[in-house]
Amino acid sequence: MHYQPPNDNLKCLIAPLDSNSYFARCHRDCIFRDSKPGRVPRGKSRTELAATSSIHPVFEVKDECSIIPVSSSLANTREVEKSPREQWKRRFDFLLSLVGLSVGLGNIWRFPYLCYKHGGGAFLIPYFISIFAAGLPVFLLEVTVGQITAQGGIAAWNICPLFRGIGFASLVTNFCLDCYYNVILAWALYYLFSSFTSTLPWTLCGQWWNTPQCDNGSGLINGTVATDPAAEFWENRVLGLSKGIEHLGPVRWDLALCLLLAWIIVFLCIFKGIKTSGKVMYVTATSPYIFMFILLVRAATLEGAIDGIRYYMVPDWSKLADVQMWADAGAQIFFSYSISLGTLTALGSYNSFHQNSFRDCLAYATVNTLTSLLAGFIIFATLGHMALKADLSIDQVAESGPGLAFVIYPKAIGMMKASPFWSVCFFLMLLLLGIDSQFAGVEGFITSITDFYPRLVLRPKLRILFVGSVCLACFLVGLTMVTEGGMYLFQLFNHYAGSRIILLTAFFECIAAGYFYGAKRIGGHMKKMHGWGLGVLPQVFWCVISPVFTLGLFIVSVVVHEEVSYERASRTEVYHFPQWSIIFGWLLAACSVIMIPIIMVFELLRTPGTFSQRLRTLSHHKLTGSQLMRLQGRKTENDSSASTDSSNSRRSKNGLTNVETQTKVVAKRFLNEESTSNNLN
């Protein structure tokens, strides 16, 4: 179909780019006089046409090709088949989803300990520098890329096909985290169920899981060091801990049932998409703060609380010269912000185009930091009371990770009056903090795959089946971590799969978005989305500060790296992992980031042309027509699904789809402009 407007050199050609899709391409300089419908003019390659920068102003696009998809009776493309994308019903839903995803167990059991370990208040200096230099910029970048493309963690990186492997790297990391994170929730469920008793089971000796060395106090029993009943309950009753990773042993079926329950909860929260998860977030993202304030009031009234808070916050400025502190601060920010997992991109893809994501990201950063500080006050005020009662120093009770949540803090709760009530509050808080992080992470994983291969969710039943399959696969992997040696495998996943390797992925994200797609271009998109821009800040951060900072942190973290080990809760023994398990851990870490060069080589091999032509082609974005219209400020079915649904029936009677109608509207608008200009002349 050709159209020749009066007094203009513009021709409109609707030609099939491939056998499955049709595109309307408008071009001012090239006149397709010798071409036939459905063919590219002789002497013109598709690559040359795609690179053409002179576009008629009616399309409001400069320096990039304006492509608008239209349907055909023969078209069977992903974009045509795919139903309008879901969006958050309320603007506040997105902020809650960010809080639910990223405010989790790391804020409770890792941040307070890092503050104590690295000089109290002095740790806040590298912490805030890491936030503003890399954490917040990369966080905003991932959300913005998702909002621009309305695609999940894989398809969103079509903004730079050469680095499409970033999406696959994030997918692998996300899967590893999803597998082991729910094991923590299984432990929390076990402790929660065990709290519904008149006397907490980890406060007593003489149970079948206790050893002769068990003692409620501290001291020596028959010349040996006494062990605490809370530590014995954790290792002997809950974990059934074996001697090492070489002895995985049988599955602990009580823990396996708790793990199954955790995955059932996750499935019920996400099987219908963000329609259900968005509603659940209103409970899971807000109610933990109720329990936190209850526990804060209780902790502040305990004897010895001020001593614990002093250990937590009094700065030791000499620690600033310790590179380990800077590495820990950066790793904490990236893990706490859920960066380089693809989940932020997926959540951002459900935003409307004009959602103020910059405001939401700032609000989230504030909430995350305040939550971490609040959790620190709760934990160390309680530990101060515990140290006073046991006549120990804070050094002897302060701990990080599962040992803090499932040994030290339960022991401190056991010293309080009405201890079962406070135990229920604490483990409910842990469960709620963890469950929304988990189902948001799984939702991000599912969105990344279904946007890349949308046939999986053509019908609601297919989505339910696919979500169930993902949950089942993660559950089966998690079963290996609820065996008698499962804690050792958990430590490997926690130490290698989701730690420093995400810094390297974030570095490649900055390179791909900042240099190849263009930080200036993304800044322009943000100006259209928000109505105001950030000036040169995107170029400064995404091209210079953030990539340098993330790469530097990665190098430092590798230099100061210590191989994984496990200290038993009784503190009587430190288990050192065998060499083969350490190699497995590094392979686990590498299997994610290795996807970036693998996909890069794959794309280069399958792209025609010389090497320089391939690089040029893969460096140019491959956004779809609807994505380009979205960036031009025109509504698509994703931005106005409600109005689309109401008018679909009228359009279908005429055999027109939404995108074809939009193409006709653009052409009609062009004719009106031409007519007006002729009348004025």
d(CA 93, CA 96): 5
Structure tokens that stand for 55 in this block: 């576009």
Bridge partner residues of 565 (DSSP): 576
pLDDT at 108 over 50: yes
Q: Which residues contact 540 (CB under 8 A, 6 or more apart)?
A: none
Q: Are residues 381 and 353 in the same domain?
A: yes
pLDDT at residue number 119: 77
pLDDT at residue number 495: 87
Length of the chain: 681
pLDDT at residue number 385: 87
Q: Tell me the per-residue pLDDT of 254-275, one tens digit each, with 9 for 90 and over.
A: 999 999 999 999 999 888 888 7
d(CA 124, CA 315): 9
pLDDT at residue number 574: 84
- Quick check: is 165 in a domain? yes
646 is in an annotated binding site: no
Over residues 46-56, the mean pLDDT reads 39
Q: Are residues 15 and 152 in the same domain?
A: no
pLDDT at residue number 620: 83
Over residues 52-57, the mean pLDDT reads 36
Please report, for the domain that includes residue 218, its CATH number: 1.20.1740
DSSP assignments along 44-64, one per residue: --HHHHHH-----GGG---SS
pLDDT at residue number 183: 94
Q: Are residues 114 and 76 in the same domain?
A: no
The DSSP call for residue 545 is I
pLDDT confidence bin for 1, thresholds 50/70/90? very low
485 is in an annotated binding site: no
pLDDT at residue number 27: 37
Q: Tell me the per-residue pLDDT of 572-585, one tens digit each, with 9 for 90 and over.
A: 678 889 999 999 99
Domain boundary among 593, 610, 641: 593
pLDDT at residue number 483: 94
pLDDT at 468 over 90: yes
Give Dmax over CA atoms of the chain in angstroms. Answer: 107
Over residues 148-163, the mean pLDDT reads 91
- Quick check: is 604 in a domain? no
d(CA 154, CA 165): 8
249 is in an annotated binding site: no
Q: Tell me the per-residue pLDDT of 399-450, one tens digit each, with 9 for 90 and over.
A: 767 878 888 888 888 888 888 999 999 999 999 989 989 989 999 999 999 9
Q: Give me the percent of the chain exceeding a pLDDT of 70.
A: 77
Closest by CA position to 498, among listed 163, 92, 177: 177
Distances in Å between the Cα of 361 and the Cα atoms of 73, 138, 140, 678 are 43, 11, 6, 48
Counts for the chain of helices (H) and strands (E), in that order: 32, 7
- Quick check: is 264 in a domain? yes
- Quick check: is 663 in a domain? yes
pLDDT at 677 over 70: no
pLDDT at 556 over 70: yes
Over residues 354-370, the mean pLDDT reads 90
Q: Are residues 103 and 143 in the same domain?
A: yes
Q: Are residues 498 and 395 in the same domain?
A: yes
66 is in an annotated binding site: no
Q: Are residues 657 and 540 in the same domain?
A: no
pLDDT confidence bin for 104, thresholds 50/70/90? confident
Q: Are residues 322 and 188 in the same domain?
A: yes
Domain range for residue 646?
Answer: 11-82+623-680
- Quick check: is 602 in a domain? no
pLDDT at 545 over 90: yes
Strands 67-70, 21-27: pairing kind: antiparallel
103 is in an annotated binding site: yes
d(CA 212, CA 54): 84
**If you average pLDDT over each of 223-227, 385-389, 407-411, 469-473, which comes out highest?**
469-473
pLDDT at residue number 17: 42
Q: Are residues 238 and 344 in the same domain?
A: yes
pLDDT at 2 over 60: no
Q: Are residues 506 and 409 in the same domain?
A: yes
Closest by CA position to 630, among listed 69, 143, 74: 69
Q: Are residues 267 and 416 in the same domain?
A: yes
- Quick check: is 157 in a domain? yes
Report which of residues 630 and 544 the model is more confident about: 544
Distances in Å between the Cα of 445 and the Cα atoms of 10, 15, 274, 486, 615 are 44, 35, 13, 24, 29
Q: Are residues 286 and 403 in the same domain?
A: yes
pLDDT at residue number 223: 43
pLDDT at 543 over 90: yes
Question: Considering its fold, how many domains does the chain have in total?
Answer: 2
Report which of residues 71 and 671 the model is more confident about: 671
pLDDT at 658 over 70: no
Report which of residues 67 and 492 the model is more confident about: 492
Q: Are residues 47 and 176 in the same domain?
A: no
Torsion, Cα of 603, 608, 613, 615 (10° steps): 0
Average pLDDT, the chain: 79
- Quick check: is 611 in a domain? no
pLDDT at residue number 48: 43
107 is in an annotated binding site: yes
Report which of residues 398 and 665 the model is more confident about: 398
pLDDT at 144 over 60: yes
Report which of residues 535 and 602 the model is more confident about: 602
- Quick check: is 72 in a domain? yes
Q: Tell me the per-residue pLDDT of 485-500, one tens digit each, with 9 for 90 and over.
A: 999 999 999 888 877 8
Q: ∠ at Cα 333 (405, 373), nearest 5°?
A: 55
pTM: 0.79
pLDDT confidence bin for 540, thresholds 50/70/90? very high
Q: What are phi and psi of 297, to 5 degrees?
A: -60, -45
Structure tokens that stand for 536 in this block: 């040169």
* Residue 156 and residue 533 in contact, taking contact as beta carbons nearer than 8 Å: no
Domain boundary among 549, 573, 593: 593
Structure tokens that stand for 525 in this block: 């998109």
Domain boundary among 575, 593, 611: 593
Structure tokens that stand for 557 in this block: 């973290």
